[in-house]
């Protein structure tokens, strides 16, 4: 393994862990929205069926406004609850991100020290990275002009 490859690998692992944590958090928000919307739809549907059976046309005519107001009130309440629950989970998210960054830092330092020792030779490190970027930049420029 080479230092740039190991560094690249650890960066990809950091990206994957961070993305997974963000996706999990997003999924929790989405699940809460879906749960709240389904509850509101079920309640409105039940009321609609009852009013049609009773043939209460006046109440049926006002159902959309009532349903909208109820959904608004319910949404505010549900969002307050969801925000509280998700805020309680925030430290877990932060800890996950922190651990991912620590892992990335450890892997990155290991990749560099495996290649260059304990950084006792800064000139070798500088020469290595200069040669790496000298090789990488023309390749990137070529791809950019083709793309």
Question: Per-domain residue ranges for the chain?
Answer: 3-116, 121-147
Instruction: Look up the pTM and report it.
Output: 0.48
Tokens 């020469």 label which residue? 127
Least confident of 11-20, 35-44, 134-143: 134-143
Reported residue count of the chain is 147
At residue 138, the pLDDT reads 61
Tokens in use for 55?
A: 């043939």
Residue 130 pLDDT greater than 80, yes or no: no
């Amino acid at each position: 393994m080479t230092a740039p490859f190991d560094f690249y690998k650890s960066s990809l692992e950091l990206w994957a862990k961070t993305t997974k944590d963000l996706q999990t958090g997003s999924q929790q928000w989405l699940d809460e929205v879906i749960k709240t919307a389904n509850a509101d739809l079920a309640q409105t549907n039940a009321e609609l069926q009852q009013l049609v059976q009773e043939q209460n046309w006046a109440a049926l005519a006002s159902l959309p406004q009532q349903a909208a107001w109820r959904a608004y009130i319910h949404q505010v309440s549900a969002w307050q609850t969801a925000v509280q629950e998700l805020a309680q989970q925030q430290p877990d998210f932060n800890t996950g991100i922190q651990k991912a960054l620590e892992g990335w830092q450890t892997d990155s330092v290991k990749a560099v020290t495996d290649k260059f020792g304990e950084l006792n030779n800064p000139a070798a490190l500088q020469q290595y990275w200069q040669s790496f970027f000298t090789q990488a930049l023309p390749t990137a420029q070529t791809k950019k002009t083709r793309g």
